[in-house]
Amino acid sequence: MEEASLGIQQESKRREMLPMGGSGVERMRVSTSTVHSRWNMYFAIATPLLIVSIVLLSRIHWYERAALVVLLGLPTAVFLIFVDPYSSDEVRTPSKSGFRGWCFAALSVVCLVAAAVINPSVMFVQFIVVPQLFIAFTYWPALGIVAFMNCGFIMVAWIQTAGLYGSNFTDTIVESLASVFFSGMIGIANDHLAEVNTHNLQLIERLQSQQEIIGHLSHEEGIAAERQRMAGEMHDTIAQSLTSMLALSRAALGEMGDEQDRDLALKHLRMISVIAKESLDDTRALIANSTPVALQKSGLRDALARTLSNGTDGSGKSFDLHVDEDLPVLPLALQVAVLRIVQEAVTNIQKHSDARSFTVNLERNKGVQGVQGIQGVQRGRDELCLRIEDDGIGFESSSISEEQASVTGHGYGFIDMRRRVEELSGSFAFSSAPGRGTRITALFPLEGKTQVQVNGVASS
């Protein structure tokens, strides 16, 4: 049998659904880390340039310039080394890096206010420190720290009785208020970005968790489907061979007591040996997941004829097998399905029908006429029609329970037949009535096949 495992197919589909290039969570974290890296590059470049500009343009003593370099550069250095590596947007506490963030905030306020005492123009440096604060803290704590720092600038201006730019006290208040306002605007954007990233991380983690669950369920479904397939194949091969062997052995036992029937008994014993050999070969083929032995030895028509002969010999039943001569070469999967359905039907006839004879027809159907029990047959559609009819006692088809229809080996096996047909995009139906026998019909599409195979007609 050349049938791919459902579990493998579903596992492949599941892997195709996963994000390319690794975990989606890791990719999101890498993206966030890249944004932080760009901010850090800005801090590392802008801080020295701003410090150099202020120091060179200020007319102060050298020791005051040295103090400015330390006071203005220390907050950025502490942020890059001790705060940012330990900050996480997923942490929603006021400080994203714990006590490190609070130490950094206190150091920033002290250093910048102290620098403003030396040179009031250092107020510009807060536009480097402000983004650092909003990275290290959530929105409102960061904005509060910025406001507190600007209050320090105002206090220094009030003490010196001069504006930070050499103007008046009122200008310093306006500039501080503007600084807090624009800092708040920057913080809103940064905080919103952090919230979006955190939300996206949660969504991706949830998606991956669901994909893992789906993958597990798909694996379990694949195992269940493979077990069902194996059960069906064993029923259609080994179980049916054992049924035939049982019928032949019972016939042989009855014939051994009569000397006139011993030749017939020996014939049945030889048939048991042949069936046992074929059953062993089928078992090996099933283990190897290869083509059924009956189809390996000959074509579909001969395999069907041998199946019918083995299934009826010693039972007193007769059969007619009709196979169209103009059938195209059929795909292996279709041949296997036809053979297995016929084997299942023969087993049902032996066990349940009490029929004297039955007919198996395999023909090409152009869809010109309707097929009894099957709806939606398209006019002109090229199909393979398998029809099996017996003259047995029949049954009330509406009275069959779902369990009777589906139990393999102990029921009628109709659901297993239907499954085989529908796997090949075909249609399946059965009909029966007490005293009127049973009819099974299966239609398989034949589009795109070439008409080169010739089959004859066999009867017994």
- Distance between CA atoms of 307 and 414, rounded to whole angstroms? 19
What pLDDT is stored for residue 19 in this prediction? 44
**What confidence score (pLDDT) does residue 401 get?**
58
pLDDT of residue 79: 93
Q: What is the pLDDT of residue 459?
A: 40
Which residues have a Cβ under 8 Å from the Cβ of 234 and sit 6 or more positions away?
286
Which region holds residue 21: left if phi is over 0, alpha if psi is between -120 and 50, else beta? left
Placement of tokens 């229809």 in the chain: 405
**Residue for token pair 């026998």:** 437
Collapsing DSSP to helix, strand or coil, 167 comes out as: coil
Answer yes or no: are the C-beta atoms of 295 and 303 closer than 8 Å: yes
Tokens of 101: 């963030």
DSSP for 188-209?
HHHHHHHHHHHHHHHHHHHHHH
Q: Are 49 and 242 in contact (CB under 8 A)?
A: no
Q: What confidence score (pLDDT) does residue 387 get? A: 94
| pLDDT of amino acid 321 | 92
DSSP per residue, 367-404: SSS-BTTB--PPTT--EEEEEEEE-S----GGG--HHH
Task: Enter the DSSP assignment of 359.
Answer: E
The confidence score (pLDDT) of residue 21 equals: 40
Q: Please name every residue paired with 458 in a beta bridge, in sequence order, or none if there are none.
A: 321
Query: In this predicted model, what pLDDT tens digit does every residue of 25-82 receive, in sequence order?
Result: 566 555 666 767 888 898 889 889 988 888 788 788 888 889 999 999 999 999 999 9
Residues of the chain falling short of pLDDT 50: 1-22, 163-166, 368, 370, 376-377, 408-411, 449-460
Residue spans of beta strands (DSSP E) within 150-195: none
Angle, CA of 112, 117 and 119, to the nearest 5°: 85
Burial class (CB in 10 A: 0-12, 13-18, 19+), 36: middle
Residue whose token pair is 């880390």:
33
